[in-house]
Structure 1
Amino acid sequence: MSRDEAQALARRVLGFATATESRVIIGTGARGNTRFAVNQISTAGDNSNTTVAVRSVVDGRVGSASTNRLDEAGLRAVVENSERLAKLSPVDPELMPELEPQSYQPGVGWSDSTARLDPAGRAAAVGRITDQARAAGLVSTGYLETRATAGAIANSKGLFAYDRDTDVALTTTVRTADGTGSGWAGGASNAWSSIDPAALGARAIEKARRSVNAVAVEPGRYTVILEPTAVGNLVQLIQGSINARGADEGRSFFSKAGGGTKIGEKVVDERVTLVSDPFDPETAGNPFTGEGLPARRVTWIENGVVKNLNYDRYWARKQGKEPTGAGGGFGGGSLRMSGGTETIESLVAGCQRGLLVTRFWYIRPVDPRTILFTGLTRDGTFLIENGRITRAVRNLRFNESPIFMLNNLEAMGRPVRVSASESGNAGAAVVVPPIRCRDFNFTSLSEAV
Structure 2
Amino acid sequence: MTILTQDQTKKICDRVLSLTKADECIVNIEGNRIGNIRFARNAVSTAGLADDTRIQIQVAYGNKQGTTTINEFDDKSLERAVRRAEDLARLAPENPEFMPALGKTAFKPSDTYVQATADIDPEYRAQAAAYAIEACRKKGLVSAGFLTDRTLFETVANSNGLFGHQSATSLDFTLTIRTEDGRGSGWAKRSARDVARFDPREAAEVAIEKAMRSVEAKALEPGRYTVIMEPAATSDLLVFMMNGFDARNTDEGRSFLSKQGGKNRLGDKLFDSQVNIWTDPWDKEVPVLPWDDKMLPRERVALVKDGRINALDYSQFWAKKKGQRAIGTAGNIIMAGTNKTTEELIANTKKGVLVTRTWYIRMVDPQSVALTGLTRDGTFYVENGKIKHPIKNFRFNESPISMLNNIEEIGKPVVIGGDEARYSMLIPAMKVRDFNFTSLSDAV
Cross-structure match for 1:446 = 441
Cross-structure match for 1:139 = 142
Aligned equivalent of 1:10, options 13, 21, 34: 13
- 1:20: how far off? 1.5
Aligned equivalent of 1:43, options 46, 49, 53: 46
Aligned equivalent of 1:32, options 24, 32, 35: 35
SS in 2 for 1:413: strand
* Distance in 2 (alpha carbons) for counterparts of 1:113 and 1:57: 41
Q: Deviations over 1:255-306 (max 9, x none)?
A: 1244311111111010110011110121211111223221111110011011
Contact 2:33 / 2:49 at 8 angstroms: preserved in 1? yes
Aligned equivalent of 2:416, options 415, 418, 425: 418
* Distance in 1 (alpha carbons) for counterparts of 2:78 and 2:18: 10
Aligned equivalent of 1:233, options 236, 248, 251: 236
Structure 2 counterparts to residues 44-193 of structure 1, below 5 A? 44-193=47-196
Cross-structure match for 2:431 = 436
Cross-structure match for 1:382 = 380
- 1:247: how far off? 1.0
Contact 1:26 / 1:151 at 8 angstroms: preserved in 2? yes
Contact 1:365 / 1:372 at 8 angstroms: preserved in 2? yes
* Distance in 2 (alpha carbons) for counterparts of 1:89 and 1:79: 15
- 1:425: how far off? 9.3
Q: So what's the TM-score if we normalise by structure 2?
A: 0.96
- 1:104: how far off? 1.1
Contact 1:169 / 1:425 at 8 angstroms: preserved in 2? no
- 1:346: how far off? 2.2
Contact 2:222 / 2:394 at 8 angstroms: preserved in 1? yes
- 1:84: how far off? 1.7
* Distance in 2 (alpha carbons) for counterparts of 1:336 and 1:33: 27
Q: Compared with structure 1, are the counterparts of its residues 428 and 159 closer, same or farther at alpha carbon in structure 2 (3 Å cutoff)? A: closer
Q: Which ranges in structure 1 are unaligned for 5 or more consecutive residues?
A: none
Contact 2:288 / 2:422 at 8 angstroms: preserved in 1? no
* Cα root mean square deviation, aligned: 1.5
Q: Which ranges in structure 2 are unaligned for 5 or more consecutive residues?
A: none
Contact 1:174 / 1:208 at 8 angstroms: preserved in 2? yes
Cross-structure match for 1:345 = 343
Note if 1:318 corresponds to 2:321.
yes
- Alignment-mate amino acid for residue 244 of structure 1: A
Structure 2 counterparts to residues 187-336 of structure 1, below 5 A? 187-325=190-328, 327=329, 331-332=330-331, 334-336=332-334
- 1:426: how far off? 9.2
Cross-structure match for 2:371 = 373
Contact 1:185 / 1:201 at 8 angstroms: preserved in 2? yes
Contact 1:146 / 1:169 at 8 angstroms: preserved in 2? yes
* Distance in 2 (alpha carbons) for counterparts of 1:31 and 1:252: 36
Contact 1:189 / 1:429 at 8 angstroms: preserved in 2? no
* Distance in 2 (alpha carbons) for counterparts of 1:305 and 1:183: 36
Q: Compared with structure 1, are the counterparts of its residues 30 and 187 closer, same or farther at alpha carbon in structure 2 (3 Å cutoff)? A: same
Contact 2:394 / 2:438 at 8 angstroms: preserved in 1? yes
* Distance in 1 (alpha carbons) for counterparts of 2:350 and 2:154: 51
Contact 2:270 / 2:307 at 8 angstroms: preserved in 1? yes
* Distance in 1 (alpha carbons) for counterparts of 2:39 and 2:347: 36
- Alignment-mate amino acid for residue 443 of structure 1: T
- 1:427: how far off? 7.9
Q: Deviations over 1:186-236 (max 9, x none)?
A: 110111110110000000000000111112222111110001111111122
* Distance in 2 (alpha carbons) for counterparts of 1:426 and 1:363: 25
Structure 1 residue ranges, 4+ long, deviating more than 3 angstroms after superposition: 424-427
Q: Deviations over 1:18-37 (max 9, x none)?
A: 22211110001311111111
Q: Compared with structure 1, are the counterparts of its residues 264 and 425 closer, same or farther at alpha carbon in structure 2 (3 Å cutoff)? A: closer
Deviates more, 1:97-106 or 1:233-242: 233-242
Contact 2:296 / 2:327 at 8 angstroms: preserved in 1? no
Identity of aligned residues (%): 42
Deviates more, 1:311-320 or 1:349-358: 349-358
- Alignment-mate amino acid for residue 342 of structure 1: K
Note if 1:394 corresponds to 2:392.
yes
Question: Number of residues paired by the alignment?
Answer: 441
Deviates more, 1:272-281 or 1:252-261: 252-261
Q: So what's the TM-score if we normalise by structure 1?
A: 0.95
